[in-house]
Amino acid sequence: MGLTLLAILATALLLPGILAMRAYYRAGRVAEADPVFPPLSGVEGLAQAGMCCIAVHAAYAIILAGVAGLPPLIPLPLADPYAVFALHSNADLTRDHVIGLLLGLIWLSFLADLTGRGAAWLGKRYGDPGVFHGPLADILTLNVGPNDFINAYVLTKTDVEGGILGYQGTVVSLIRDADRFPVKVVMRNVAIFYLELAGDRPRRREVGESIDWIALSSEEWRNIAFRVILVEEDMDDPSPSG
């Protein structure tokens, strides 16, 4: 088999590891933020993709060995993507090998998605949520109720009349960098305030105006803080009328 074709096949067989890794992190999403996907250009990303790839191929090889001796329900070649590596030359490649390779990659992709989702479920149930959300895990995972929300308090780099311009609003989207620290935030129902640093303690002065939506980046703020608002629902049933 030619080196070019071998390189293409090897790259295709790395895809299930990347898909499993993507499914793993996407399963850890919360309403306000997605887990940060480690870049494949880094050592950590490559290591995780490699481990996922090995796990998916090992599971598929076991399944393949179990079904190889069973009569086929559909008159198609066995979905074996590994058979092409046993060929001595490109001339030995047949239509059955191509169909088996394509079917194998399809089934490997489904298995990769299930593997990633299953690993994420185990991680959320028995592991550390910091794997998905880093330093903000306690804040992002505490917001679990349908009526709960996260408030952000942003102190900007804008100074006005001896005070610091700030915004308070409900977090809609929080974008983080590779270290999982906030770099952008989108908020709604935003209140504007000034933080005055007179005397021995800061004092907040309300402006009395509000903004429906605002998006801010880390280049625009001095600091950002978060607070989870837990809304308790009234569980008492209303008294029947009549």
Residue 203's CATH number: 2.30.30.100
Task: Name the token pair of 132.
Answer: 């998905």
Question: Contact 184/216 with Cβ under 8 angstroms?
Answer: yes
Q: How many domains does the chain have?
A: 2
**pLDDT at 127 (0 to 100):** 78
Neighbours of 33 (CB within 10 A): 23
pLDDT at 101: 84
Q: Are residues 206 and 92 in the same domain?
A: no
Does any domain span residue 138?
A: no
* 102 found inside a domain: yes
State whether 123 and 152 are in the same domain: no
Let me know whether 153 and 210 are in one domain: yes
Q: Are residues 36 and 109 in the same domain?
A: yes
Q: Same domain, yes or no, for 77 and 107?
A: yes
Asked if residue 180 and residue 70 are part of one domain, the reply reads no
Residue pair 173/191 in contact by the 8 Å Cβ criterion: no
Counting every residue, how long is the chain? 242
Quick check: is 21 in a domain? yes
Of 231, 35, 37, 213, the residue nearest 140 (C-alpha)? 35
> Do residue 212 and residue 106 come from a single domain?
no
Question: What is the extent of the structural domain holding 176?
Answer: 143-229
Q: How far is CA 168 from the centre of its chain?
A: 26
- 123 with 202, same domain? no
The amino acid at residue 224 is I
- What pLDDT is stored for residue 226 in this prediction? 93
Predicted structure pTM score: 0.72
- 106 and 175 co-located in one domain: no
Residue 134, in any domain of the structure: no
Do 28 and 51 reside in the same domain of the chain? yes
Distance CA 174, CA 152 (A): 10
Q: pLDDT digit of tens for each residue in the chain (242 aa)?
A: 555 666 777 778 889 999 999 999 888 888 788 888 888 888 888 899 999 999 999 999 998 888 877 776 666 667 888 887 767 666 666 778 788 888 888 999 999 999 999 999 888 888 776 778 888 888 887 756 677 889 999 999 998 877 899 999 999 999 988 888 899 999 999 999 999 877 777 888 888 888 999 999 999 999 999 998 877 765 454 444 43
Asked whether the beta carbons of 230 and 148 are under 8 A apart, the reply is: yes
Picking from 72, 101, 128, the residue at the C-terminal end of a domain is 128
Please tell me whether residues 98 and 199 are part of one structural domain. no
Residues 6+ apart with CB under 8 A from 150: 32, 139, 140, 143, 170, 171, 226, 227, 228, 229
On whether both 37 and 149 belong to a single domain, the answer is no
